[in-house]
């Protein structure tokens, strides 16, 4: 069971939050199968870059799986099938309500306010589709 605690937008003074959510569905995985070696006809896509987008927003996300805070793994922000953000290293605040808990402070790229943002979390080769969504807001 994976949950996310509400993303909070920044640096604007109005923060948006929502209640923690319920479990995701782990994405189906299968073992690779052996096959003939093929030649790639085109280069792989470039690595993700926020500079591809004209605007950005920040969100702070607490990821929980089976009730446990997650401090290792990679959080991805998506709009449809388009990657909008990626963060591997969470920060751990030393004080406040979330003191000592790993928080993913992710920057999310976009061009248009209102795009629906979803999250995927990958840990040890297992992919979790998180059930928190929100609208992209330009900082």
pLDDT tens digit string along 14-67?
A: 323 333 333 344 444 334 434 344 444 555 566 889 999 999 999 999 999 999
2-25+50-135 carries CATH number 1.20.81: no
H/E segment holding residue 73: none
Measured between alpha carbons, how far is 139 from 135 in angstroms, rounded to an integer? 12
| 119 has pLDDT over 70 | yes
Q: Which residue has the higher pLDDT, 34 or 5?
A: 5
Across-strand partners of 117? 134
pLDDT, residue 21, reads 37
pLDDT score of 3 more than 90:
no
Domain coordinates of the chain in residue numbers? Answer: 2-25+50-135
Pairing, β 55-65 against β 9-10 = antiparallel
What are the pLDDT digits (tens) for 55-111? 999 999 999 999 999 999 999 999 999 999 999 999 999 999 999 999 999 999 999
d(CA 120, CA 132): 10
What are the tokens at 74? 């990679």
């Amino acid at each position: 069971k994976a949950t996310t605690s509400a993303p909070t937008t920044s640096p604007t003074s109005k923060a948006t939050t929502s209640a923690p959510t319920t479990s995701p569905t782990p994405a189906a995985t299968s073992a690779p199968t052996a096959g003939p070696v093929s030649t790639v006809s085109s280069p792989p896509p470039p690595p993700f870059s926020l500079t591809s987008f004209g605007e950005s927003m920040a969100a702070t996300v607490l990821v929980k799986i089976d009730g446990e805070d997650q401090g290792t793994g990679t959080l991805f922000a998506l709009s449809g099938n388009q990657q909008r953000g990626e963060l591997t290293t969470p920060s751990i605040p030393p004080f406040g309500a979330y003191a000592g808990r790993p928080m993913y402070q992710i920057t999310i790229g976009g061009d248009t306010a209102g795009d629906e943002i979803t999250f995927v979390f990958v840990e040890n080769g297992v992919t979790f589709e998180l059930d928190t969504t929100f609208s992209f807001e330009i900082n």
